[in-house]
Amino acid sequence: DQQVKQNSPSLSVQEGRISILNCDYTNSMFDYFLWYKKYPAEGPTFLISISSIKDKNEDGRFTVFLNKSAKHLSLHIVPSQPGDSAVYFCAAATNFGNEKLTFGTGTRLTIIP
């Protein structure tokens, strides 16, 4: 049972445009959400997070939106840059402790110059 779902395996976006990556979850106990970025032959790198008490968190070009009623979160990257080409994983945790992260299957983002 996939509790965290990223339904788009891949996404291509023109450089300078907005990239929107989506993630859905089924477990209503999740209260902390993270986005990781992964380049080939490297480990995932933490990008941005949001707790369930917020609906938006912004860090530079990256904004994460959380819609608890829809059990949906999204990552917006504006403007998209070629270095943003990577695989993006969303992850979720329960009970305010992130020892058990549940990951989605990832979305490969390609930024077209």
Partner 1 sequence: DADVTQTPRNRITKTGKRIMLECSQTKGHDRMYWYRQDPGLGLRLIYYSFDVKDINKGEISDGYSVSRQAQAKFSLSLESAIPNQTALYFCATSAPSGNQPQHFGDGTRLSIL
Decide if residue 73 touches partner 1 (CB under 8 A): no
Q: Are the CB atoms for 63 and 56 separated by under 8 Å?
A: yes
**Secondary structure tally for the chain: helices H, strands E:** 0, 11
Q: Which of 73, 57, 78 is nearest to 15 (CA)?
A: 78
Nearer to partner 1, 57 or 79 (CB): 57
Q: Helix (H, G, I), strand (E, B), or coil: what is residue 78?
A: coil
Instruction: Give least dist CB 69 to partner 1, A.
Output: 22
Decide if residue 109 touches partner 1 (CB under 8 A): no
Catalog residues that contact partner 1 under the rule CB under 8 A. 4, 9, 32, 34, 36, 41-46, 49, 51, 89, 91, 93, 96-106
